[in-house]
Amino acid sequence: MGDGRVVVRIRHIHVAVDGGILKKGLGRGCVDIGFLATLSAVVATVALSFRYRADIVSFTSLMILVLAGVYEMGEALSFLISPAVIVLFGSMVLSGVIADSGLLDRLARYVSIKARHIAVASLLLYFVAGVASGFVSDVAIVLAMAVLISDVARRLGAPPAAYVIPLAFAVALGGRLTMVGNAGNVILLDIYQSTTGEGLSIFAFTLPAFLALAISIPLLLLISFYARRFVPQLSTAVKFVVAQAEVGEALDGKSRKEVEKAYRVKILSKDRFLLKYSVVLIKIAAGDIPSLMASKDLRLTPLGNNKGEDTEFLIVTPRSRLVGKTLSLEQIHKVFPVSIIGVVPSGPIQSLETYTFRPGDEILVMGDEKEIERLAAFYRLERSKTLVRAFNPRLAASGLGGLFAAVALSQFMPTPQAFIIGTFIALLGGGRAVERLYQYVSWETLVYVGSFLAIGNAAAKIDLLKPITPLLHVQEYLFVIGLLFTNTLGLIPSAVLIGPYLTTKEALMTYVLATIPTLLPQAHPAIYIVYREYGLSLKNFLKISIPATAATALATATAIYLLF
């Protein structure tokens, strides 16, 4: 035919190939196979990703589009290395290096120590977490700070979940601060630049997002007070470690109670006053160990002089070779290049060297990961899941340097290239950063994003959202649609589907600010982790999330009104 289509007629069946999309029909009716395949891919990916692995579901849907003729195989796979995927890869590595350095833990610990009241500590941690989430992984921030808020809440007799859930909300809101703050924004940045051909700074909407965050945080604190009325008090056990510490000159002559209060430790010796250079046995919460490792006045003195980048708890099993033995007889810190920081004993203890191990005891070991693994295998010890991140200045410097370079260079060059350069700088820290590179990256998320970008591109070509397109051009309706989509579909699907229709900066800003994924636990990964960890029922979660979503939406609308 003259229009470039190839048409084959076999009896009454009509088959046509038009622009790479297969169509079939019977008689006058014509069914667009490409349309059906695209619609099925969108529905299947959105519906099944909540139940099954999102990467497998989305990639399978993408292959169905290839079979339907919507894409050639090479074109389909090209989305897996799209600019959005590259930026996400770089941001994951940068976040992983910074989180692994112990910087977030140390910062959060400093805030919690300085702020003695739960309200002050919560306000500060909500603000720090919100701002940090504009650059660093939301999940890493929540994992680092939730432990500290929980600790403060427990000491004051308050239910931890009442304060941790709003913390996750603050992190979700902080992701709007930059166009690389969450996966949805990264996708929107890529789609906007490819659709309009215009460059866009990653700080394009930072001012209204920051103002909305600042207004929202006091409201979230009020909601935490309200949540205390019905959130259950979970009796989560705190792990305490017995360790040795040397008294510094600044603590010479200080009373035992005074030091215990200042450093949040329990001194096991009976002396009322401390003497400089003396070694005392202390009991300390596992979460406080990183800050004490950096202390000069009450300095931990481990057994062994081997320093490494990893700190792990090893559990003494019934089959372990250490059962019934002491560290004075079985000097594992001399057999292997590791140091023994302390133990979690199940019975009375007078010193680290003379304690007789029993099944269930734990040993806190510092060294290189491979050496700790060898030690655990030789003595039949089980590696615990409890994390203790000692602050690593070199890793923190390389991670922050890489992040700063990526952010700064993105103002002068394409964002993907800037983040690749930032990634290389972060890896200059060497050691643990290079060894754990593969672990820093959520490959499932990258495959999911790349595959869904292709599916969303196909959906845009068939104008799948045509029924609501007129509403997307009205700011108020766009805000409501963005709020509903992000809470029901999730950040990634909603950004992929609506992104092609956001062709002006005003529309893009409205949608970015409308991404408030706080209504349902599945809407944001950091919120879902906290929801599962603290055993909240969906009913109780909704009692918190509904007023929180309403309050933050109102705060965002107020910020837009004040600025524009």
pLDDT in tens, 409-443: 998 899 999 999 999 999 887 766 777 888 888 89
pLDDT at 293: 78
Domain boundaries, the chain: 6-81, 88-97+392-441, 102-233+464-563, 240-387
Rounded distance, CA 455 to CA 70, Å? Answer: 10
Reported as a single tens digit per residue, the pLDDT across 553-563 is 999 999 999 98
> H helices then E strands: how many in the chain?
24, 12
Separation between Cα atoms, residue 112 and residue 121, nearest integer Å: 6
Cβ–Cβ under 8 Å, residues 149 and 167: yes
pLDDT band at 16 (very low <50, low <70, confident <90, very high): very low
Q: What band does 459 get if pLDDT is binned at 50, 70 and 90? A: very high
Average pLDDT over residues 488-506: 93
Give the sign of the dihedral formed by CA 117, CA 120, CA 122, CA 128: negative
CATH of domain 240-387: 3.30.70.1450
Query: What CA–CA distance (Å, rounded) separates 499 from 461?
Result: 13
Helix/strand/coil for 117: coil
pLDDT tens, position by position, 64-86: 999 999 999 999 999 999 999 99
The residue type found at 507 is A
Amino acid identity for residue 287 in this structure: G
Whose tokens are 């300095």? That residue is 299
The span from the CA of 512 to the CA of 505, in Å, is 10
Angle, nearest 10°, between helix axes 206-227 and 538-563? 150
282-307 residue pLDDT tens: 998 887 787 787 788 888 889 988 87
pLDDT of residue 2: 41
In the chain, what are the helix, strand and coil shares in percent, each to the nearest 5? 60, 10, 30
Q: Any idea what DSSP says for residue 7?
A: E
| Most confident of the following: 41-55, 141-155, 166-180 | 166-180
Q: Read off the pTM.
A: 0.80
Residue in 295, 223, 102 with CA at minimum distance from that of residue 551: 223
SS (H, E, C) 265-276: EEECCCCCECCC
Lowest mean pLDDT of 93-97, 266-270, 336-340, name the range. 266-270
Would you state the structure tokens that stand for residue 335, as one six-digit string?
């057999």
Among 25-34, 116-125, 475-484, top mean pLDDT goes to 475-484
